[in-house]
Chains A and B, each alone.
Chain A
């Protein structure tokens, strides 16, 4: 069964510092991959997605993620953290065939320190 691992349930960065949130998936067939962001008291919003068109994916708010098949990873990065980036981030994988089941990671809470 597909699984998604997010390393670090809490990550703290200083404002202006690099943001790196890690995500690894387990699948012999590369799935579709997503990063979602959840702000307090809100639902999840799509940040970006990988659907095999390009390995480096750019999303909203300056975030990007790189798909690395050899490492089964899809880490999320942003060069310079902003206070408004404080939120919880979820990585998700969707099977590319059949029912297209979506599996979510447990989430990473990002704290931005002024």
Chain B
């Protein structure tokens, strides 16, 4: 089984709809992250969480919110989806020790019409 899972893998929604992307991990890591990937822009950080009670905005948090339901679960919500939120979204985890790599989920491809 995959260490970091994301649901759904693909989603089509309409402008103005609220949607939630979910992430679960079995690696036992404290830190979790949400990124979006756009062609030519690389990965940009939306939100990150160092533990259940610690949630922080990343560089592009406007229009997004998150919930850390448990150490293993971190959800990303688009309160009112807009077309420029069409992107590939990745969840990642790390254990926080200095220089440790991040482990990525398979991604959710979101299309907002």
Q: What residues of chain A lie closer than 8 Å to B103, measured between beta carbons?
A: 46
Q: Which stretch (B40-48, B63-71, B72-80) binds chain A?
A: B40-48
Q: Say yes or no: B101 contacts A106, CB within 8 Å.
A: no
Measured in the bound complex, the distance between the Cα atoms of B44 and A102 in whole Å is: 10
Q: Which of A34, A42, A44 counts the most B-chain CB atoms under 10 A from its CB? A: A44
Q: Say yes or no: B42 contacts A45, CB within 8 Å.
A: no
Q: Say yes or no: A104 contacts B99, CB within 8 Å.
A: no
Q: Say yes or no: B90 contacts A44, CB within 8 Å.
A: yes
Q: What residues of chain B lie closer than 8 Å to A41, measured between beta carbons?
A: 106-107
In the complex, which of the residues A43, A49, A96 contacts B104, with contact meaning CB atoms closer than 8 Å? A43
Measured in the bound complex, the distance between the Cα atoms of B98 and A52 in whole Å is: 11
Decide if A9 is an interface residue (CB 8 Å cutoff): yes
0/1 string, B75-113, CB within 8 A of A gives 1: 000000000000000101000101101111111000000
A43-B4, A43-B107 are contacts. A32–B40 as well, Cβ < 8 Å? no
In the complex, which of the residues B43, B98, B105, B107 contacts A32, with contact meaning CB atoms closer than 8 Å? B98
Q: What residues of chain B lie closer than 8 Å to A34, measured between beta carbons?
A: 101
Decide if A55 is an interface residue (CB 8 Å cutoff): no
0/1 string, B8-19, CB within 8 A of A gives 1: 000000000000
Q: Say yes or no: A106 contacts B102, CB within 8 Å.
A: no
Contact residues of A between 88 and 114, Cβ < 8 Å to B:
90, 94, 96, 100-102, 104-107
Q: Which of B43, B98, B103 counts the most A-chain CB atoms under 10 A from its CB? A: B43
Q: Say yes or no: A90 contacts B43, CB within 8 Å.
A: yes
Q: Say yes or no: B99 contacts A96, CB within 8 Å.
A: yes
Measured in the bound complex, the distance between the Cα atoms of B101 and A42 in whole Å is: 17
Q: What residues of chain B lie closer than 8 Å to A94, measured between beta carbons?
A: 99
Q: What residues of chain A lie closer than 8 Å to B102, measured between beta carbons?
A: 44, 46, 102
List residues of A whose CB falls within 8 A of some B CB. 9, 32, 34, 36, 41-46, 49, 51-52, 90, 94, 96, 100-102, 104-107
